[in-house]
């Protein structure tokens, strides 16, 4: 099978970015609203606002990035640029994939890639919670179609075709 490159969908990214901007503005107003005189609430609101601003700036960089390839799939493996873990791991050869699964998180469907070589990927997980969950399930990454220019079912079928062809 030849290589398939699935691009980021700029329209989907802009919608997510607008939601994040709205959330950042709401957090900012909660932080400065005079009714909330408690300094702890103000501190946490301003902290979350700054984190939101950082996430919005990362989102803007993603929307205006020249590299629009979100997912690259070929007969040798898969490379996801959709999540920070996927970017950190880079290319995952099919020989390291034990099975594919489906995970539903907060109402969104994800394709789970489970490894048969957990020792190779454990250090890529963020935080103790991420490492603990990895130790239990051996899921390398979860891929969503939310930002990609493809719907979930087509993405799932495409990844399954490449994975099955590698067996």
The string of pLDDT tens digits covering residues 93-104 is 999 999 999 988
For every residue of 11-45, DSSP letters joined together read HHHHHHHHHHHHHHHHHHHHHH-TT---HHHHHHH
This prediction's pTM = 0.70
Q: Are 158 and 142 in contact (CB under 8 A)?
A: no
Domain with 34, as residue range(s), is: 8-63
In a domain, 97, yes or no: yes
Question: For the chain, how many structural domains are there in total?
Answer: 2
Residue 142 and residue 77 share a domain: yes
Residue 123 and residue 91 share a domain: yes
In a domain, 144, yes or no: yes
The string of pLDDT tens digits covering residues 62-81 is 667 777 788 999 999 999 88
In a domain, 2, yes or no: no
- All residues at 6 or more sequence positions from 82 whose CB lies less than 8 Å from its CB, including other chains: 70, 71, 143, 144, 147, 148
The string of pLDDT tens digits covering residues 119-164 is 888 888 878 888 888 888 888 788 888 888 899 999 999 999 999 9
Residue 57 and residue 77 share a domain: no
Residue 152 and residue 87 share a domain: yes
Q: Are 76 and 86 in contact (CB under 8 A)?
A: no
Torsion sign (Cα): 61, 66, 67, 68 = positive
Residue 95 and residue 56 share a domain: no
70 closest CA partner among 57, 87, 56: 87
For every residue of 85-128, DSSP letters joined together read HHHHH-EEEGGGEEEEEEEEETTEEEEEEEES-HHHHGGGS-HH
Residue 115 and residue 33 share a domain: no
């Amino acid at each position: 099978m030849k290589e398939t490159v699935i691009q980021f969908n700029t329209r989907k990214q802009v919608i997510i970015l607008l939601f994040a901007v709205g959330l950042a503005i709401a957090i900012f107003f909660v932080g400065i609203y005079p009714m909330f005189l408690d300094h702890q609430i103000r501190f946490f609101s301003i902290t979350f606002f700054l984190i939101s601003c950082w996430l919005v700036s990362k989102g803007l960089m993603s929307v205006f990035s020249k590299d629009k390839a979100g997912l690259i799939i070929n007969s040798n493996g898969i490379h996801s640029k959709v999540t920070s873990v996927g970017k950190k791991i880079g290319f995952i050869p099919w020989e390291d994939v034990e099975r594919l699964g489906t995970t539903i998180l907060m109402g969104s469907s994800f394709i789970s890639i489970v490894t048969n070589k957990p020792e190779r990927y454990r250090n890529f997980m963020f935080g103790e919670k991420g490492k603990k969950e990895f130790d239990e399930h051996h899921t390398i990454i979860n891929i969503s179609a939310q930002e990609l220019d493809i719907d979930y079912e087509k993405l799932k079928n495409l990844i399954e075709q490449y994975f099955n062809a590698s067996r």
